[in-house]
Amino acid sequence: MSVQSHDLHLLTGVYAVDALTGDELDEFEKHLEQCPTCAEEVRGLREAAARLGLATAIAPPPSMREQVLDAASRVRQLPPSGARLITANGARPRRRLIRRLPRPIAVTAMAAAIVALAVLQVGTRHQLQQAQTKNQTIASVLSASDASIELSSSTVGGTVTAVVSKHDREAVITAAGMPTPDDAQVYQLWVISAAGAPRSLGLLPGSTSGATSPVLADDVQPGDQLAVTIEPAGGTKVPTTNPIVEIHTRP
Amino acid sequence: MNTPSVGQQPHGRGHSEGHGQDLAWLLAQVACGDHAAFEAVYDQLAGPVYGVARKVLRDPAQSEEVAQEVLLEVWRSASRFDPARGSAAAWVMTIAHRRAVDRVRAENAATAREQKAAPDIGTSEDVFELVDMALDRQRVRRCMGRLSSLQAEAIKLAYYGGYSYPEVAGLLGLPLGTVKTRIRDGLIRMRDCMEVPQ
């Protein structure tokens, strides 16, 4: 099958979403090696396609984490050079490189997780229920159709993100990359409305890696301001310092 | 997620690129055999990797197998990641999507896809990831909204459905050439809308 080079160029899109198969795929990959423009376009379109993937995250079964990390300790890594897995133009490898994990590992890990969970439930069923309710509320805010995202950099570094549902009057706040305060200080989160005193939403843990545990704020009115201040350990009833972050929710 | 501390990371995570800088840095550590860095990569990307597999394959058990393969592949071939050729997230997601699509095409796609399960939003501890997901999701939704319905439909069938473009053409009742250009034009628009680094 022979396709004109102009037609081949139009295949960058279907190639970027892995919708190209058979002879056409082979032909296009050969073409890519000689067409830097195509390779460059594929790169950009792949980035766009990857966002479609990143947006579909689903929490995997908790047992998967241990299995993967454990398996990694038994899988030899490739050296930095040598035959390229993904070649310069992004051509795919032909061989199946990793064998599937043996089933028994999965089953054992799953059983261990269930036992651990059962033990936990006996001791703290009430706490667990509370945690689940909170998590469900957080999940519902994050997936609310009217959820808007406000993001603001803090004056001490890092950022604070708020996902606000106007309809539910709720917000979920997390921080990322903020330095851990010294032992005598804490980050305290506030909601400040046009009328009325600032209301404390509790403490926000600092974290230099990843995001902090999310804080759920209820009764957030449109136009309210969210703020973080540095306060003495234990927190205070009213803010005593200037905010390091202020987020204005949409009116 | 409670990522273990892995040395000094370059500060913050470039939120606007979603999972940019830090991941590239982490992958470089992974390439040197750093298990803690791999845990951090896992915590950032296991959700999207599993999510793509679920979207394409539907079947939870198969999706988990594919996700495990992909993540181990990331561990194994981290040294081959080249930041000059694209973002770390795109590198991983490309591997993930290909694996899922390869699997669906290798096996009898029809049977696997009929077992549709409601996508579970996952349990408790992963609400951390959900915040980042919400950022991505909102941007993607906004950008998808700027595509023509034909472009969006074709891209969804190809990417989320795992269909080849002749299959997409068949499903939409369109000529092959039209599907080719719609997918390309749509992705270009997505790329520009999402301010993907050029």
Q: What is the pLDDT of residues B122-161, one digit of tens each?
A: 333 344 444 555 666 788 888 988 999 999 999 999 999 9
ipTM: 0.80
| Contact status of A50 with chain B (Cβ, < 8 Å) | yes
Q: What are the pLDDT digits (tens) for B6-50?
A: 444 444 333 334 444 489 999 999 999 999 999 999 999 999 999
| DSSP element (H, E) containing B20 | none
Instruction: Give the pLDDT of residue A83.
Output: 38
Burial of A87 (0-12, 13-18, 19+ CB in 10 A): middle
Contact list in A for residue B103 (CB cut-off 8 A) is none
B11, B33, B139 member nearest A157 (Cβ) = B11
- B13: closest CA of chain A, how far (Å): 7
- B88: closest CA of chain A, how far (Å): 10
Instruction: Give the pLDDT of residue B196.
Output: 61
For B:170-189, CB contacts with A below 8 A are 177, 179-181, 183-188
Please calculate the CA angle B94-A45-B47 and round it to the nearest 5 degrees. 35
Instruction: Give the pLDDT of residue A211.
Output: 57
Whether residue A181 contacts residue A160, with contact meaning beta carbons closer than 8 Å, is answered with no
| Contact status of A92 with chain B (Cβ, < 8 Å) | yes
Burial of A12 (0-12, 13-18, 19+ CB in 10 A): buried
> What pTM, to 2 d.p., does this model score?
0.57
Instruction: Give the pLDDT of residue A132.
Output: 60
Q: What is the band of A7 on the pLDDT scale with cuts at 50, 70, 90?
A: confident
| Contact status of A69 with chain B (Cβ, < 8 Å) | yes
Query: Which of A58, A84, A100 is the best residue to mutate to test the B interface, defined by the most B CB atoms within 10 Å of its own CB?
Result: A58
Cα B148 from Cα B189, distance rounded (Å)? 10
